[in-house]
Amino acid sequence: MFYATSDDATASNAAAPSVTDTADDDATASNAAASVTDTADDDATASNAAAPSVTDTADDDATASNAAAPSVTYTADDATASNAAAPSVTDTADDATASNAAAPSVTDTADDDATASNAAASVTDTADDATASNAAAPSVTDTSDDATASNGAAASVTDTADDATASNGAAASVTDTADDATASNGAAASVTDTADDATASNGAAASVTDTADDATASNAAAASVTDTADDATASNGAAASVTDTADDATASNGAAASVTDTADDATASNGAAASVTDTADDATASNVFFLLLQILMVLILMMLLRVIMK
């Protein structure tokens, strides 16, 4: 019988390539080798620096200590100077001020036109058409109106209220957030489909994300398809790091190299998985001792029964 400790994924689990620490403190140094995720606690601290995709989802600014993380996201406050090193800092609640100028893709989602002071960055204008005055910005965003022909020169025009139509075809990272990313977006390297299944037409996208429905067979070509609401079914078998967060990682996930089982014991059916993780019932070295102790107790009881029978 295994005993539950519910703590951090300890050193004994270190061999697992994608250990997940979902219920406790920061993913500590002992997890450094893996793609550790810190989902409920403080900033992704320096000890997580080695992890290539550390995520800080509930706390403060993405501070300097997170600078090494290539995709640190900061969603509630100005993207301050300390975040300057992060290549895709996002400022969703305030103007993209001069201090953000160094950030290559600063986003201004709640305020006026992207003014001259933002000219150096890929400023985003979410409430008004991206007018001629924004033309110098390399990735002007027009979220209320179709990205019309006049925006054609923008390298990553975004159309969030209407299908990204054929006229946006030249844009390198066209985003379609309200409708299926249709075939016309096929050329986009990172098309995102957030409200509907990532359909076959997105097959060419390297990191298509399906957040509301099972990652179906049509997503098989995606290297890191994530299935957050349902079992990672057999159709996801080709995905290298399929994650099953709500149910046991069943036998059908066997082919996945780093299936994660966060709500239940990693059962025998997960045996084929190279790095199955059991985060709610640590399988620590201390459980070996308890197992041996139980065997000894059974042997003693059997001897007592034999004495009584005589």
pLDDT of res. 179 = 41
Asked if residue 178 is part of any domain, the answer here is yes
Q: Is 189 found in the same domain as 110?
A: no
- Whether residue 139 sits in one domain with residue 175: no
Nearest-CA neighbor of 197 among 212, 187, 186, 184? 212
Tell me which of 301 and 169 has the higher pLDDT.
Answer: 301
Any domain includes 289: yes
Q: Are 51 and 32 in contact (CB under 8 A)?
A: yes
The rounded mean pLDDT for the chain is 43
Q: pLDDT exceeding 90 applies to what percent of the chain?
A: 0
According to the model, what pLDDT value does residue 89 have? 42
Regarding whether 75 and 209 lie in a shared domain, the answer is no
Residue 70 has pLDDT above 70, yes or no: no
Assess whether pLDDT exceeds 60 at residue 114.
Answer: no
In a domain, 157, yes or no: no
200 and 284 inside one domain: yes
pLDDT at 152: 39
Judge whether 303 lies within some domain: no
Please tell me whether residues 208 and 73 are part of one structural domain.
no
| Cβ atoms of 115 and 131 closer than 8 Å | no
Residues 103 and 209 in one domain: no
Residue 298 has pLDDT above 80, yes or no: yes
Q: pLDDT value at position 63?
A: 40
| pLDDT the model gives residue 141 | 47
Q: What is the pLDDT of residue 293?
A: 76
* Radius of gyration of the chain measured on its C-alpha atoms: 25
Same domain, 81 and 11: yes
Residue 300 reports pLDDT greater than 70: yes
In terms of residue numbers, what domain contains 27?
2-149
Same domain (yes/no): 104, 199: no
Domain assignment present for residue 159? The answer is no
pLDDT at 118 over 80: no
Question: Is position 282 within any domain?
Answer: yes
Give yes or no: residues 69 and 171 share one domain.
no
207-258 pLDDT tens trace: 444 443 344 434 433 334 444 434 444 344 333 344 444 344 443 443 344 4
Which 3 state secondary structure label does DSSP give 305?
A: helix
Q: Please state, in angstroms and as integers, the Cα–Cα distance from residue 177 to each residue in 189, 192, 226, 288, following that order.
A: 15, 7, 17, 50
Burial pattern 192-209, b for ≥16 Cβ within 10 A else e, equals: bbbeebbbebbebbeebb
> Residue 182's CB: how many other CB atoms inside 10 A?
17
Give the per-residue pLDDT at 289: 60
Same domain as 173, residue 133: no
Looking at residue 295, its pLDDT comes to 84
Q: Do 133 and 180 lie in a common domain?
A: no
pLDDT above 70 covers a percentage of the chain that reads: 6
Confirm whether 156 is domain-assigned: no
Q: Which residue type sits at 17?
A: P
Residue 288: per-residue pLDDT: 56
* Boundary-marking domain end, from 149, 181, 213: 149
Together in a domain, 196 and 238: yes
pLDDT for position 291: 66
Q: What is the pLDDT of residue 290?
A: 62
- 297: pLDDT strictly greater than 60: yes
Residue 305 within a domain: no
Number of domains into which the chain is organized = 2
Label residue 95 by pLDDT band (50, 70, 90): very low
Entry pTM: 0.16
**pLDDT on residue 305:** 87
Question: Is the pLDDT assigned to residue 270 strictly greater than 70?
Answer: no
Could you tell me the two tokens for 294? 């139980």
